[in-house]
């Protein structure tokens, strides 16, 4: 734990904390393989020999009256290749997207582990702490898609879409500045009223929230066009989980590492 604290204080005093707002990346949705490793190439290669055989047989059998057989065979082969290409393309797209989501989930789990280690260190008692993390991707103006399930706590939510105007996520999208919110009211009705008045959330958005969450933080990721291309979202059932500046700084630096990873994957694709 002493080592964790040392690293934390290094980031606190020596590392700038504005890197997230200046990160110009697009959240990837799939990993691009080299062309020779794609399934479509395998389909074409496996059908070269039958296609060549039909072509040669057609050329050698011009005068025996069986050319229609070869034309029929070539037609069936063409249809078969087209169908195989469609299936291979769909499989490649599905698998590459799955791999990318697994990579992002691994990054979020590592990020959560660092945050939880710091909170245990700062609490001084080594007790377990609650923190969930997920990531949202902008899919339309003021509309986001949760691209991975929550890590570190209950709730899935992957692939669900949410408005990008209200709440912590909406604040990040509209201001491009990290946002922190702490629940002030134990009473649910008063809490919902606070969200509508101070955080611009609608009744429908409020009704879909988890009732046990007490602390919230969002960090925007900006794209090449200067707008939010996504938001890294964190919450906790513990009061004032993100209240101290050092915890916020650790979250920002962890997010910066995640953005660096995304940028690296894009540049190497």
Please give the average pLDDT of every successive group of 10 residues along the chain, which has 269 residues.
39 38 47 54 65 65 62 73 70 58 84 90 72 92 89 79 90 94 89 91 89 94 87 93 93 91 74
* Inter-residue long-range contacts of 77-86, CB under 8 Å, 24+ positions, other chains counted: 77/47, 77/50, 77/51, 80/47, 81/43, 81/44, 81/47, 84/43, 84/47, 85/40, 85/43, 85/44
pTM of the model: 0.67
Nearest to 178 by CA among 231, 124, 223: 231
Per-residue model confidence (pLDDT) at position 172? 94
Per-residue model confidence (pLDDT) at position 146? 92
Per-residue model confidence (pLDDT) at position 213? 92
Q: CATH says 10-28+128-268 is which class?
A: alpha beta
Per-residue model confidence (pLDDT) at position 80? 75
Per-residue model confidence (pLDDT) at position 234? 96
Q: Is 187 helix (H, G, I), strand (E, B) or coil?
A: coil
Per-residue model confidence (pLDDT) at position 269? 58
């Amino acid at each position: 734990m002493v080592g964790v604290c040392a690293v934390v204080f290094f980031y606190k005093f020596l590392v700038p904390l504005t890197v997230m707002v200046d990160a110009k990346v697009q959240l990837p949705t799939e990993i691009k393989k080299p062309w020779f490793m794609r399934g479509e190439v395998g389909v074409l290669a496996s059908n070269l020999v039958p296609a060549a055989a039909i072509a040669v047989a057609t050329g050698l059998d011009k005068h025996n009256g069986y050319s229609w057989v070869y034309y029929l065979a070539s037609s069936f082969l063409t249809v078969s290749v087209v169908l195989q290409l469609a299936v291979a393309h769909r499989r490649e797209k599905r698998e590459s997207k799955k791999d990318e989501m697994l990579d992002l989930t691994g990054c979020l789990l590592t990020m959560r582990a660092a945050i939880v280690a710091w909170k245990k260190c700062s609490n001084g008692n080594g007790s377990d702490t609650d923190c969930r993390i997920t990531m949202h991707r902008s899919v339309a103006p003021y509309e986001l898609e949760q691209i991975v399930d929550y890590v570190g706590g209950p709730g899935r939510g992957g692939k669900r879409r949410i408005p990008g105007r209200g709440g912590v996520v909406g604040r990040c999208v509209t201001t491009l500045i990290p946002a922190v919110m702490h629940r002030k009211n134990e009473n649910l009705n008063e809490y919902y009223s606070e969200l509508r008045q101070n955080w611009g959330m609608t009744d429908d958005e409020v009704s879909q929230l988890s009732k046990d969450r007490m602390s919230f933080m969002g960090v925007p990721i900006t794209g090449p066009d200067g707008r939010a291309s996504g938001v890294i979202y964190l919450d906790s059932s513990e009061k004032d989980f993100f209240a101290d500046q050092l915890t916020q700084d650790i979250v920002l630096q962890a997010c910066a590492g995640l953005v660096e990873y995304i940028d690296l994957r894009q540049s190497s694709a």
